[in-house]
């Protein structure tokens, strides 16, 4: 990655490095999302943060080594997509992670999502805030981690099932470590095999230092065709 030109930065301004140009290229998408979300109750980052605060958060995002690696990879290896591209306006309104749990101190940043070419592997980078903690502990609620894992397993299972449709038939989760809030989490998912209408997959949650915090396996089943 090119180094920052901070030495040329004027006092009170934010230096725009080449790595930030990725976000500038997505600005049209961001404005379109804001228009679409008006009146829907969905809170987006740009609705709350000043441009300066938002840019500082983008700098933090760009400092994650995995983000740099994925964005520098060939499109034949990893492709970045809008985290909510698969949701229609109506389904987004009922989504936990795209709507209900969005907001300040929750999931404020729109997650970063990368697929491999055939959509059998997926990496999601998501920031979790302190209002997602259990009421009786300072750690992120395990129910939220289960939701993130279940959704992520769907990301790698459904593309290979008939009609891109399926439901969770089995979900096994091992929680390895308590997850602290106000940090970036990395979810990795992989499709293991397809057997007819059944998709078997695995996923994990880790921090940006590579410590594995939770892992899961799942079975997704596509409904029988209507006769």
What is the chain's pLDDT, residue by residue, as a tens digit (227 residues)? 333 333 333 333 333 333 333 333 333 333 334 433 444 455 566 666 666 566 666 677 778 999 999 999 988 899 999 998 888 888 888 888 988 898 889 998 889 999 999 999 999 999 999 999 988 899 999 999 999 999 999 999 999 999 889 999 999 999 999 999 999 999 999 999 999 999 999 999 999 999 999 999 999 999 998 87
Q: Which fold has domain 18-221?
A: Thiol Ester Dehydrase; Chain A (3.10.129)
What are the residue ranges spanned by the domains of the chain?
18-221
Write the DSSP assignment of the chain as a string of letters: -PPP-GGGPPTT-----GGGHHHHHTHHHHHHHHHHHTTTT---HHHHS-HHHHHHHHHHHHT-HHHHHHHHS-TTT-EEEETTTT--HHHHHT-IIIIITBSTTSB-SPPEEEE-TTSSEEEEEEEE-GGGB-TTSSSB-HHHHHHHHHHHHHHHHGGGSGGG--EEEEEEEEE-S---SSEEEEEEEEEEEEETTEEEEEEEEEETT--EEEEEEEEEEPPPPP-
Give the model's pLDDT for residue 84. 87
* Contact (CB, 8 A) for 71 and 65: no
State residue 87's pLDDT score: 85
**Structure confidence at residue 92 (pLDDT):** 83
Per-residue model confidence (pLDDT) at position 85:
83
What distance in Å separates the CA atoms of residue 127 and residue 105, rounded to the nearest whole number? 10
**Which pLDDT score, from 0 to 100, does residue 55 have?**
63
First-to-last CA distance in the chain?
55
Q: Are 97 and 151 a contacting pair, CB within 8 Å? A: yes
């Amino acid at each position: 990655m090119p180094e920052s030109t901070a030495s040329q930065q004027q006092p009170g301004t934010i230096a725009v490095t080449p790595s930030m140009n990725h976000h500038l290229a997505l600005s049209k998408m961001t404005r379109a999302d804001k228009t679409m979300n008006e009146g829907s109750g969905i809170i987006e980052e740009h609705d709350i943060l000043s441009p300066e605060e938002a840019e500082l958060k983008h700098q933090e995002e760009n400092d994650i080594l995995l983000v740099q690696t994925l964005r520098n990879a060939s499109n034949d290896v990893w492709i970045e997509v809008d985290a909510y591209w698969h949701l229609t306006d109506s389904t987004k309104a009922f989504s936990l992670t795209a709507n209900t749990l969005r907001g300040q101190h929750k999931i404020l940043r729109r997650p970063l999502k990368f697929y491999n070419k055939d959509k059998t592997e997926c990496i999601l980078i998501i920031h979790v805030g302190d209002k997602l903690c259990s009421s009786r502990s300072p750690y992120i609620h395990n129910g939220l981690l289960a939701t993130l894992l279940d959704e992520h397993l769907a990301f790698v299972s459904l593309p290979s099932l008939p009609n891109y449709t399926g439901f969770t038939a089995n979900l096994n989760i091992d929680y390895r470590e308590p997850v602290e809030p106000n940090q970036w989490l990395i979810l990795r998912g992989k499709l293991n095999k397809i057997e007819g209408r059944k998709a078997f997959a695995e996923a994990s949650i880790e921090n940006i230092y590579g410590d594995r915090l939770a892992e899961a396996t799942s079975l997704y089943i596509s409904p029988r065709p209507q006769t």
